[in-house]
Structure 1
Amino acid sequence: MGTFAGFFYRQLTIKPKPLAADVRLDGKTAIVTGANVGLGLEAAKELAAHGLARLILAVRAVAKGEAAREQILAQTPGVDVQVWEVDHESFASLDAFGRRASGLDRLDIVILNAGVKNVDYVASKTGHEAHVQVNHLGTALLSVHMLAPLDRTAKALGTPGRLTIVSSENHFWAKFKERHAPHMLAELDAYRECFKGLDKMNIERYSTSKLLNVLWTRELSDRAAKLQLDVVINTVNPGFCASSLHRTDPQATTAVNLIAWTSAQGGHCIADAAALHGEVRGAYISEQKVKNPSSFVLSPAGKQTQLKLWKETVDLLAKEAPAVDALQRLNSV
């Protein structure tokens, strides 16, 4: 994986398949972020169709979430579909969502799918660059919040919880020069050259944020295992799909028309990762199979960067985000 020739070949020859009819999720509760449109909505629809008792759509715009709810209920009338507001550009909103989720009587599946892709520099409401805030920091904070209710349900029912973080094959192509800086997250916030020239064409910052997703997933999984949390934590590449993610990238239009999978096919990949592959933890799943992430991720330099990312993220969240007890516990191992 990771070569452009291989990417084009897979996009043109592989057609992701929906979950088999015998995959049952009866009685389970799932949360899907970014679920009002695109891949998140399609994954939510698919999970609901396999017997979920309760489905929580985590969205920034409640009205759009309600519209998505109606689509799901039209397809699967029996499921309890709830719309919960969460803003990935607000640590307070993320914390409130996490505390609300912790109060659920049951939580079996969480898919962290919300993300942005910009071709120009955009500062989030927190002051962090948008990819850093939404794709990494917001996802990281929610992932920590989700562990306790997932583990509690897993231990009560004897079935591992499932936490799936949506990444991308783009992580193979990230240059991530900022990792050499003394404080790489601060450098990502400040460095704007990646939005110019060839780096802009290659959407370098988006690719880097997807690399951060893979590194965070691996470190979070390792630490959860040391604490004996019964949660399968994996990351998934949903493929290059026609979705609203590309709305700010006019250069993607030609590629979308030529080789993109449908949003439904991307949703198949996400649903597959969340419902199957329970035998692996900290894994990268692509084309509905467990595969190796980039050679950098697997290298000693990748492991060093993974640990550095963990430390910087924990330190930043400790200063800027409301206190998360689970984060301190994870940081102790």
Structure 2
Amino acid sequence: MGGFLGFVYRQWTIKPKPLPSALSLSGKTALITGANSGLGFEAARELMSRKISRLIIAVRDVSKGEAAKKELSSSQGGDTCEIEVWPLDHESYQSIAELGKRTAKLDRLDYALLNAGVKMMSYKKSALGHETNVQINHIGTSAVSLAILPALKHTAQRYNTPSRLIIVSSEGHFWIPFKERSAGKILAKMDEEETFGTQQQRYYTSKLLNVLWTRELASKVDKEEVVVNTVNPGFCYSGLHRHSASVINVFLWLFAWTPEQGGRCLTDALVKHEDSHGQYLSDQRQTPPSSFVLSSDGEKAQKKIWDETIALLKDEAIGLDTSVVT
């Protein structure tokens, strides 16, 4: 798992399957971040086809979210699903805190799919001063997971069944050296431009942080309340690649799955695998993450990333309650 030849083999031979046609999600509520396009949009469409009752699209650009809502409304299930568009900016802790407050007012939140992300190919600081891939893919996503956790727990307690929290990662977490792990402060080191690396290294490192965060979060959450996993959706046609070099188009032509197929991987992780917790899901099954993640060095990095992220959020994210897991 994780090598280039294995990647090619899987992309060419595996065809992600849709959720069982007999499955009904009637009465359930799902929240998907970054669902205005690409894989998140296709995941939303499939949940609607399985009769989900309420779908919350949390997006940075509300106008794009409304356009997605209009298109989704014409999909199968659009006549029975209540679709809401909520603003969410991973570069604003106030926005993330407001999302948490809104979820707390819901009668239920059964599924949360944290899909929003970016793949920046050159160094750029976010509005909050951190490198953009790290801010949006790791810090922002981690903050969102904490903000919505109380609503997920409340739903589980009220309906006596675990809710689900899925963070989207990438197979790319296998492919990076993660030299920053030896720094005194890993996240601060990753803010330095000279550590950015080449090509997709920083993006893949942010996806490794997703895996490490998910594993540590799962260790602090009762799986009888919230099942927490991370998922690799596969290499798919998506707007995620818009900042990539033109050669990516060759790889997309040769190997990529469709957005619909990638969306199936997301919904599979969100709805199935009830007995998993803190796991890495890929190709619609539970598989081991990278050897580094499973190593003693990986375990140390996992706890260090957790501690640093919690400390950063306590310092920067005024209004966000981190005590839900500490």
TM-score tier after normalising by the smaller chain length: over 0.9
Asked if 1:313 is matched to 2:309, the reply is yes
Match of 1:27 in 2: 27
Q: Secondary structure of 2:118's match? A: coil
Contact 2:55 2:84 in 1 (8 A): yes
Contact 1:102 1:145 in 2 (8 A): no
Alpha-carbon separation, structure 1, partners of 2:97 and 2:320: 8
The code of the aligned residue for 2:235 comes to F
Q: CA deviation at 1:193?
A: 4.4
Q: CA deviation at 1:229?
A: 6.1
The code of the aligned residue for 2:221 comes to A
Per-residue CA deviations over 1:256-306 (Å, capped at 9, x if unaligned) read 111100000000000000000011100100000000000111111110000
Asked if 1:298 is matched to 2:294, the reply is yes
List gaps (5 residues or longer) in structure 2: none
Alpha-carbon separation, structure 2, partners of 1:220 and 1:193: 26
Could you tell me the TM-score, scaled by structure 2's length? Answer: 0.97
Match of 1:52 in 2: 52
Contact 2:146 2:324 in 1 (8 A): no
The code of the aligned residue for 1:261 comes to W
Contact 1:151 1:229 in 2 (8 A): no
The code of the aligned residue for 1:319 comes to D
CA RMSD between the two structures = 1.1
Q: CA deviation at 1:324?
A: 3.3
Match of 2:237 in 1: 242
Match of 1:258 in 2: 254
Match of 1:68 in 2: 68
Q: Secondary structure of 2:257's match? A: coil
Per-residue CA deviations over 1:226-274 (Å, capped at 9, x if unaligned) read xx76000000000000000000002311101111000000000000000
Q: CA deviation at 1:192?
A: 3.1
Q: Secondary structure of 2:191's match? A: helix
Match of 1:113 in 2: 115
Asked if 1:182 is matched to 2:184, the reply is yes
Asked if 1:134 is matched to 2:129, the reply is no
Per-residue CA deviations over 1:10-54 (Å, capped at 9, x if unaligned) read 001111111111222110000000000000000011111111110
Asked if 1:12 is matched to 2:12, the reply is yes
Per-residue CA deviations over 1:170-208 (Å, capped at 9, x if unaligned) read 00012111110000000001143434xxxx23x100000
Instruction: Decide which structure has greater helix share.
Output: 1
Q: CA deviation at 1:328?
A: 2.1
Could you tell me the TM-score, scaled by structure 1's length? Answer: 0.95
Q: CA deviation at 1:323?
A: 3.7
Asked if 1:322 is matched to 2:318, the reply is yes
The code of the aligned residue for 1:143 comes to S
Asked if 1:230 is matched to 2:242, the reply is no
Q: Secondary structure of 2:196's match? A: helix
Percent identity, aligned pairs only, is: 50
Alpha-carbon separation, structure 2, partners of 1:284 and 1:13: 20
Alpha-carbon separation, structure 2, partners of 1:83 and 1:54: 11
Q: Secondary structure of 1:44's match? A: helix
Q: Secondary structure of 1:95's match? A: helix
Q: Secondary structure of 2:86's match? A: strand
The code of the aligned residue for 1:231 comes to V
Aligned residue pairs total: 323
Alignment of 1:87-236 (within 5 A): 87-195=89-197, 200-201=198-199, 203-225=200-222, 230-236=225-231
Q: Secondary structure of 1:58's match? A: strand
Alpha-carbon separation, structure 2, partners of 1:304 and 1:287: 28
* Structure 1: 4+ residue segments shifted above 6 A: none
Q: Secondary structure of 2:325's match? A: helix
Q: Secondary structure of 1:19's match? A: coil
